[in-house]
Structure formats: structure tokens, C-alpha cells
Amino acid sequence: MMCFLKLTMFLFFFLVVVHTHSRVLVKEHIDIGLVNDKNSLVSFMSCIISDPENTLTSWKSNVVHVCDWSGVKCNNASNNRRIIELDLSGRSLTGTISPSLANLSLLQILDLSRNHLTGHIPRELGYLLHLQEPSLSWNFLQRNIPLEFGSLHNMYYLDLGSNQLEGEIPPSLLCNGTSLSYIDLSNNSLVGKIPLNNDKCVLKELKFLLLWSNKLVGQVPLALSNSTKLKWLDLESNMLSGELPSKIICNFPQLQYLYLSYNNFVSHDGNTNLEPFFASLMNSSNFQELELAGNGLGGKLPRIIGNLPSGMQHLHLQENLIHGAIPPQISSLVNLTLLKLSSNRINGTIPQSLCKIVRLERIYLSNNYLSGEIPSTLGDIKHLGLLDLSKNRLSGSIPDSFSKLPQLRRLLLYDNKLSGTIPPSLGKCVNLEILDLSHNMITGKIPSEVAALSSLKLYLNLSNNELQGPLPLELTKMDMVLAIDVSMNNLSGRIPPQIKNCVALEYLNLSGNSLEGPLPYSVGQLPYIQSLDVSSNQLNGPIPESLQLCSYLKTLNFSFNKFSGNVSNKGAFSSLTAESFLGNYNLCGPFKGMKQCHRKNSYHLVLLLVPMLLFGTPMICMCRNSMIIKSKVRKKQRAVSDGCDAEDEEKDETKELGYPRISYRQLREATGGFSGSSLIGSGRFGRVYKGVLLDNTRVAVKVLDTTTTTKDDEISWSFRRECRILKKIRHRNLIRIIMICSKKELKAIVLPLMPNGSLERNLYDPNNELSKKLSVIQMIKICSDVAEGMCYLHHCSPVKVVHCDLKPSNILLDDDFTALVSDFGISRLLKGDNGVNSACNSISFSSTHGLLCGSVGYIAPEYGMGKHASTEGDVYSYGVTLLEIVTGRRPTDVLIHEGSSLHDWVKRQYTQPHKLESIVEQALQRFSLSCVSSHRNKIWEDVMLELIELGLLCTQQNPSTRPTMLDVAQEMGRLKDHINNFSRETKI
């Protein structure tokens, strides 16, 4: 019995020891796994050169547990805790990706997107067999996609877009990844074919395939047809060829977006038959957008186009070889908002039935062979905001029914065979911004109702017609128009001196008419005039000296008139030649080929001065005594009334802002009496003057003009709006008020004077010495500053704000070229913290205040259709600004000369490598970077390409596909840090 008890106790103690030892081993095993994970992250950290946001600070602490490190997430298992997620996206990290991340053997999510990472993608990442979501997009990664990624069988999300990856797409990546649902390899330099070349490559779960902007060739692989859940297919801007993939598309019942533009596709039956392709889309009941532009597709538009899914919204077929008539059946697409058929070979008439597409907002039918009359039924499309029928063979008169289009913003009918007169009813199109009726056979006078369209914001072009009569005085009330062209008509009479009221005018062409009388001195008072052509008229008298003072003036043509007198070669005339003055036989001046002026004798001037001195002195003394007496009376009156006393509401505004008030007299003294020499800008509601206060503070005084023809309530609304917004925001990249003056007859905002002017001045003013000092590093810093300021307005401000008018002239630069966003006169306050949608729903873009809600060229396309102000609209404006900086072209110039938006123009260049290279090279020359080493030059070229690509993303037609300003600010910050690091390393 005793032996049994001893044996039992021995066994008991043995089991206790074994159990305890096993627990120690298990614990050690668990600790070893997490310790290895920690060591892997420490090794990753050692490859990071820069961490501007101090993301990895917690990683250096011995107190913080590894599972609590920034961006790290562990599983919840109690017996095997390991790292399963590493998210360091948008942290501006600079360096390389360490292969040691492969030791995180249970990692499921890896997100290093939107950083400055360089080097290559480590092939060791392909050993993370549990990895489900690798995202490395928006970095500077190079070389090939690792073949080992084909071993990631659990991967369903892959995003390597917007890098500098080269080589072919590994076949194993697509053929072994049966669970892949999302693939984004876009915006790289990948070559070769899409590697889905056999039946074994089946991606049954695939919903998104984004391969746009690469160098892929060959046909769309037939094996893609097995991906029956596909919703989004974007192959745009590659070099793909072959017939349109009809047999593949018909297998995608859930397809919503299909982008095949700018490739080398052809239609069926030798590029003659489009019907099979359109038939392949009929089963996709949720289909919304189709883009086939720029392929050279042949054939006619088939009748079955009307059988496409009724929910379709966008149809892009421009820049192809499509011929034949527009089938009336297209009117069955009742939800279509955008129709682009321009630059094809379409003939016949415009279908009357287009009016059934009641949601249409934009119609592009330009550059075709359309004939017949313009259907009056187009006036029934109430949402129509843009109608482009230019460069066709249309005849007949302009329909009166256009006056029924309340949202019409742009009417382009040039280069046709239209006749009759201009309908006065067009004056009812109160939102019209562009009217181009040039190169037709239109007769009669310019209707005063049309000339009174003060809503025109870009240009009025009536040139090359048969118009008669004088220039209507109402024309001088267009205070927002940038260009007026009435050349090559039969206009007569005088040029009205009130033309100076067109304060935004940049281009004025009056040539080829029968205008007479003198050229008004006031023409030289147009503050932004760049081009003036008055040639081939009957103008006489001297050429106004005021034109010499126009700092922006580049082109002048006075030829074939009856001008007389002396011509100077100073100021804006210094770059002219005698060719600008041909046919004016009574002119003389210093230009080669022009007759020289003879100096007049001055003895008769002396004879005139003698009696003036004898008899004039007593008169001057008498007047002086009278003026002294009157001056004393005025001083007493000013002592009583000089303060900026405001009405009750304005007093509350001033008090609420908490800024000191300043008298009208002080403002006059600071600006030299608001003299022309102090003027630094002007606009619809007033002018901006520079000045110096008594304490030597340099200021910009924004004076609102209450004497204009604009309604006073508009001015008061704009003034209060800007004060209210500037009061609520605080950010280093947003302008701040110094003080305000608010009284019934004077409303002024006093702001700090930015010593380096505006971004616009630095980009374009040839007389601005500062423009020569800007470097690409400064430009990137400026773009980053603006993004930070806008990000604050959208995401961080106590009251969310939509700016509504972001552009270079509203971006000011302080003494160290820090950018500050200014001019909040038409901004929108967005109340509430639930985002912008609810607030914006109550504010229509077509405001009853009649304010200029944005500037032409920078306005988002959805604004032009009467949509609500939104943060997406600001993103669009920012994107246009980026494209403008890189290309050096104003969006309005592109619109006038190219007939397209800056986005569309850049996108066309982007698809043609030699043209894109030309844009980049010109940008490098402007920033004095064309003579650096080839290695450095490659870096700067990549920077320019990054800006172009970000600009194109921000200016996409669909607002929902644009990034947020938070995304943009992170991307610009990433690019700025990358450039700064590169500059330090290379000592630039």
C-alpha cells in the first residue's frame, strides 16, 4: 500500500513538472514570434531616412508595447499574439522598403501608400502567405513587379498604382491570384501584354481592373471574360490594339464603368461596324459611363445605341472616324447628361428627338459634317449648360428657343453657314458665359440686349460675319468678359470711351471694320489688356500714350488707319516694330521703316510763358487765399464726419471681428489718394491698392466700389461674406485681416501687403523681376502651401468653407514665398460637422446675388450646369492651377485658342509621348533646370510628371472620382519632402 502511495505521488509531481515546463515552452514560443515581429519593424525603421510626421517615434520607446506602435495592429489571440496589420499610409516617409517585413509571417494588411519610398519592391514580400491587402501606390518605386507576388494566394486587393514600375506584368500575378477582387497597376511604365493568355488564368472574383496610363500592347485577353463580376475596367491611355473586345464585355452583367480611350482599337469588320460592340453592353443593366475617345474607330452609330442601359450617363466617342447620321434612337438614353461626338465624320441633320434626353447638360457635336438647321427643340432641354455645334455645315437662323435655357453657360456655333440676325432673345440667357457666333453669315446690328449680357465671363466672338451699325454702348458693361472679338464685319461709328468699364478685358479685336474717330484714351486704362487690334478701320488722331503704361500688353496692331502724330517706343511699345503701324502715313517715330519726327522750334513757347508769368502770378495768389479758407471749413467738417461710422448691421460686423477701424482719410493718405500708381489689382466689385500706414505697416486696401452699376446688395453681401469667413479661420496659409472700414459710402478690407505679389504675377508678368527668382522647389512649396490651406478650409476649420474661386491671382506670396490663399468674397460657409453635402444642398451655384462664383477656366464642369458649390469644385480649381503651373498656359488661353479645357488639352498631350516630353522640357526651361546632369534631370522630369498626373486626377469630370484636399495635401507634402531631401543630398 505504501509503495502504491509513493508511486502515485511521484507520478503527480512528474506531471506537474511536465505541465509547468510545457507552459514555459509555449510562452517562450509566443514571445519569440512577437519578438521576431518587433525586430522586423526595427529593421524596417532603419531603412527610413526621413519621418517628418514623427510616425515612428513610438517605435523607439521601450515602454510602448509593439502592438501599440503607431500604424501597428495585432490580432486578439491570447495564446499567439502577432502583428496582422501595418498601415503607414500618407506619413511622408522617405527611404526604402526593408525586406525584413517578410518576417511578419501573419501579416494580412500592408499599406505604405502615399509616401516618398524609393528603390524597388522587395521580392521577399511575396513570402507573406497570409497577406491579403498590399497597397504601395503613390510612391517612387521602380523596377519590376516581383514574380513572387504570384504566390500570394490569399491576396484579394492589390494597389501598386502611381509609381515608376517598369517591365511586364508577371503572368503568375494574375494567373495564380484566383481571389483577386481589386487590381490597380495604373500610372506606371509597364510594358508588354496583359498576361491573361489561357483558360487557367481565371479571376472569378475580380471587380476592379485599373491599368490606365501604361505602355501595354496587344489585344484585351479573352480570358478576362471569365471575370463575370467586373464592375470597373479602365485600360485608357495605353497602346492596346485589335477589335473592340465585344466578346469579352458581354460577359460583364455588373459592369458600370468602361474606359478604353486613347488606344489603337478598331471596330469590327475591318473598322466599319460598331454594332457588335454596342450590343455587348446591353446586358450590363447598371452601366453608367463609356469612353472610347481617340481610337480612330470607324463605322456608323447603330440604331441599337438606343438599347443601351437607360441608366447610362456619359458617352465619350469623340476623336474617331465615325460617319453617318446620328440615329434618332439615341434619345432613348433618357438619363444621359454628357454626349461627346465631336471630331468625327458625322453628317446629316441634328435629330429633333434629342430634346427627349431631358437630363442632358453638355452636348459636343463640333468638327463634323452636320447640315440643315439647328432644331428649335434643343431649347426644351432645361438642364442644358453647354452646346457646341461649331465647325459644321449648319445653316438657317439661330433659334429663339435658346432663350428658354436657364442653365445655358456656353453657346458655340462658330464656323458654320448660319444666316439671319442675332436673336435679341439671347439676352435672356442670364447665365451665359461664352457666346461664339463667329465665321458665319449673320447680318443686322448687334442687339443691345445681347451686348448687355454682363454675365459673359470668358469671351464674346462675333467676328467674320456681316454685322452692321455701331458698337452698342451696352457692350461696355461687360465687366467680367476676358475677350471681345467683333473683327471682320461692317461695323461703323466710334469706339465708346466707356470701354474702360470692361475691367477684366485681356483681348480686344475691332479690326476689319469701318470704325472712325479717335481711339479713346481710356483704352489704355484697361488694367489687364494683353492684346489690342484695331487695324483696317478709319480711326484717326494720335495713338493714346496711356497704352504705353499697360504692363501686360504684348500685342498691338494699329495698321491701316488714319492715325497721326508722334509714336514713342517706350513702355509697352518698346517691343513693337513698324509692322504694327503700317498704312498710317501721318505717323512718325523711332521705329525702323517709319519716318522720323521733326523737333519743333520752342521760341514761341517762351513768348507764351512771358505773359503768363506777368499776369498769372496775382491770380494764383488770389486763388490760393480762397483755397485756404475753404480748406479750413473742410477740415472742420471732416473732424465731425471722417470716422468710418457704419450702419447698425455693419457696426456689429466690425465689432464681432474685433479689429480696429481706420478712417477714410487715413486710407486715402496711405494709398496716395487711391492713385493709379498705387493700384495693384481690380475686379468686378472694386479695386486693390497698396499703401503704408502711419506705423509703416505695408498694406493692401481692398476697396469695394459702391458706385458701380452692380446692385449694392451684391457688394454688401460679398463684403460681409469675406469678413465673416476671414474672422473664423486661422491658418498659416490663409490671409488674415489687419483692419476694416465699413460705412455706407465706403467698404474696405485692409490686408497685409504680400511683398512677392500673387502667384499669377510671378508666372506671367514680364516686367516682374520676381518671376525670374522662382525655382521648381519654391513652386512645389507654393503648391503644397495652397493644398494645406485648402485642406484646412475643407477638413479642419471650425466652420467648413468652400472657397469657390481658387486661382493663381488669389494665391499671394509673402517675403519667403510662403503661399497664402486669399479672396473669400464668394466662398460658402458650410454649417455643421456632418460633411459638406447637407450644407451645400441649400446653396445653389446660380446664386440670386449674381456673384461671379468662380473664374472661367477654373470652374468645375458640374458648376457650369447649375450644380451646388462643393469641396470637389475646389479640388478641380486646384488641379487646374497645377496644370497651369507646369504647362505655362492660362486655362482661358487654351479655351479661346484650342476650344477645350486645360484638362482636356493636357490629357491629349499626355497620350502622345513626344508632346508630353515637350511640355516637361519647357517647364524645366522656365524653372532654369534644363542644363543639369541627366540623373538630376530625370528626377525633375519625374516631378513635373507627378504634378501633371495629380492635376489630371483633380480635374476629372466626375466629382466623386477626384481626391479630397486631404489626399492632395498629403501627396504634395510627400512630393515636397522628397524634393527637399534630394536637394540636400545633391546640394542644389
Catalytic residues: 805
Q: How far apart are CA 359 and CA 351, in angstroms?
A: 16
Q: How far apart are CA 413 and CA 427, in angstroms?
A: 16
Q: How far apart are CA 590 and CA 208, in angstroms?
A: 68
Q: Are strands 466-470 and 443-445 parallel, antiparallel or unpaired?
A: parallel
Residues 6 or more apart from 228 whose CB is under 8 A from it?
204, 251, 252, 253, 254
How far, in Å, are 519, 592, 855 from residue 736 at the CA level? 42, 52, 22
Q: Which helix (H) or strand (E) holds 363?
A: strand 362-364
| DSSP-assigned states of every residue in 755-812 | TT-BHHHHHH-TT-GGGGG--HHHHHHHHHHHHHHHHIIIIISSSEEE-S--SGGGEE
* Contact call for residues 615 and 592 (beta carbons, < 8 A): no
Q: Quote the DSSP letter at residue 833.
A: S
Q: How far apart are CA 666 and CA 98, in angstroms?
A: 64
**Amino acid present at 910:** Y
Cell matching residue 742: 465699413
Q: What are the two backbone dihedrals, phi and then psi, of residue 601, each rounded to the nearest 5 degrees?
A: -65, 145
Q: What is the distance, to the nearest Å, from the Cα of residue 220 to the centroid of all Cα atoms in its chain?
A: 33
H helix count then E strand count, the chain: 19, 50
Residues 6 or more apart from 762 whose CB is under 8 A from it?
756, 768, 770, 771, 774, 813
Q: What are the two backbone dihedrals, phi and then psi, of residue 587, each rounded to the nearest 5 degrees?
A: -95, 150
* Residue whose C-alpha cell is 453635402: 837
Cell matching residue 712: 449694392
Q: Are strands 443-445 and 417-418 parallel, antiparallel or unpaired?
A: unpaired
According to the annotation, is 702 in a ligand binding site? yes
User: Could you tell me how many residues make up the chain?
Assistant: 988
Q: What are the two backbone dihedrals, phi and then psi, of residue 928, each rounded to the nearest 5 degrees?
A: 55, 45
Residues 6 or more apart from 803 whose CB is under 8 A from it?
790, 793, 821, 824, 827, 874, 877
Binding positions are 702
Binding positions for ATP are 702
